[in-house]
Amino acid sequence: MLRLAWLAATLPILIASIPTPNLTWLRRILLAFARRGKIMHSSQKFTIPQRFFLHFYAVASVWTTLLLAATWAYAYSMVPFVVEPFTYSTITSFLTGGSTMRTGSAKLRKGFVAWQSVFMLLLMELQVLRRLYETVYVFNYSPSARMHVLGYLTGLFFYTAAPLSLCGDCAAEVFNYQAHLVTEFIVKGKNQMQVTELEFWQVVNPLFRLGWKHWIGAAVFLWGWIHQLRCHKILGSLRHSRQSDEYVIPRGDWFEIVSSPHYLSEIVIYASFVVATGGSNLTIWLLFVFVVANLSFAAAETHSWYHQKFEDYPSSRFAIIPFIL
């Protein structure tokens, strides 16, 4: 279902991006939904305040935290890490980007999937919590800034489906495990429930036994995460420093090479999930393709707006991807 949802969301954007006059009507429809803030026409109907972005990250923070807690509990209790001596096969697996948990029994392979999901949900948690903080304390949305209601609903869908996509390979098992716990609690009561003792090292140790590709993915994630933080601070400072709704050309960090570096860094962040899974997860690939298509479509419109707004806008800047778009 998630794969179909990402395909359904991506295909219209890809089709509308084909440079042919016959698809102008589709581009106009999608742009009407995608526009927000400075590039939205003031006369457009069915709009809501752009400050409602807060809802995206509030929902995402709660949802991602719940998924992380449930998946981590499942990974720890149902498929605990078993310390095995390093053998030639496990060393070879690690050097080729695999995991010492991935080889071996079916239980260990199931454990690998669960702990990999925990790893990616931890990264997602860092992302959505930072975005929540920025929405409250960094951005100062103009009272006149609006976005289309369908764009708002798309945002809610994205921040519900994206975290779920990161743990999709074990989501059914996690749900069944949590449902079993609830049923057991109802039948036996609190006093009859088995108490699971948590040891910190056993809770986090399996994360360190994942393959090097996961840590390369984490490094890519932090690279994009840090640059998005910087770019959002630049955008937030522009809003705080001006007295009216007049816009100025943002400068600094990746703004020197692209018009929408916060979108570029978002693409880098979601590319890190593809790297962390070694490109083997189709659902995460489809999530990534949607992010690229959606943000590239919006960035092209923003780039055009900048050139129309400012006669001295730097001609060397690309829209979102250096030397490509």
One-character DSSP codes across 257-307:
TBS-HHHHHHHHHHHHHHHHTTT--HHHHHHHHHHHHHHHHHHHHHHHHHH
Identify the helix (H) or strand (E) that includes residue 148.
strand 146-148
Question: What is the pLDDT of the chain when averaged over all its residues?
Answer: 84
Q: Which residues contact 216 (CB under 8 A, 6 or more apart)?
A: 275, 276
The domain of 15 spans 2-309
As a whole number, mean pLDDT of residues 36-44 equals 61
- Judged on CB neighbours under 10 Å (0-12, 13-18, 19+), 199 is exposed
CA atoms within 13 A of residue 67's CA, in its CB half-sphere: 31
Q: What is the pLDDT of residue 86?
A: 37
| Distance set, CA 316 to CA 74, 113, 307 (Å) | 50, 44, 12
Considering the domain boundaries, does residue 106 fall inside one? yes
* Domain count of the fold of the chain: 1
pLDDT band at 85 (very low <50, low <70, confident <90, very high): very low
Q: Residues 39, 301: contact at Cβ < 8 Å?
A: yes
320: in domain: no
Q: Which of 11-25, 27-41, 181-195, 240-254 has the lowest mean pLDDT?
A: 181-195
Q: Say if residues 166 and 284 touch (Cβ distance below 8 Å).
A: yes
pLDDT at residue 225 is higher than 80 = yes
For residue 275, being part of any structural domain is answered with yes
Is residue 155 domain-resident?
yes
The mean-pLDDT minimum among 126-140, 238-252, 259-273, 302-316 falls in 238-252
Burial of 78 (0-12, 13-18, 19+ CB in 10 A): middle
Specify the pLDDT at position 92. Answer: 43
Q: Nearest to residue 26, comparing CAs of 35, 36, 38, 17?
A: 17
Predicted confidence at residue 284, as pLDDT, reads 96
Mean pLDDT of 9-22: 88
pLDDT at 44: 64
The pLDDT score that the predictor gives to residue 250 is: 92
Contact 215, 207 (CB under 8 A): no
Q: What is the pLDDT of residue 214?
A: 94
From 235-244, 249-258, 313-322, the region with the lowest mean pLDDT:
235-244
pLDDT tier for residue 267 given thresholds of 50, 70 and 90: very high
Using pLDDT thresholds of 50, 70 and 90, give the confidence band for residue 238: confident
Q: Which of residues 17 and 277 earns the better pLDDT score?
A: 277
Residue 264 lies in a domain: yes
Report the alpha-carbon distance of residue 131 to residue 59 in Å, rounded: 11
- Residue 317: inside a domain, yes or no? no
What token pair was written down for 83? 């310390």
> Residues 88-112: pLDDT tens digits?
344 345 444 555 555 556 777 788 8
**322 in a domain, yes or no?**
no
What's the pLDDT band for 260 if we cut at 50, 70, 90? very high
pLDDT of residue 91: 38
% the chain with pLDDT above 70: 81
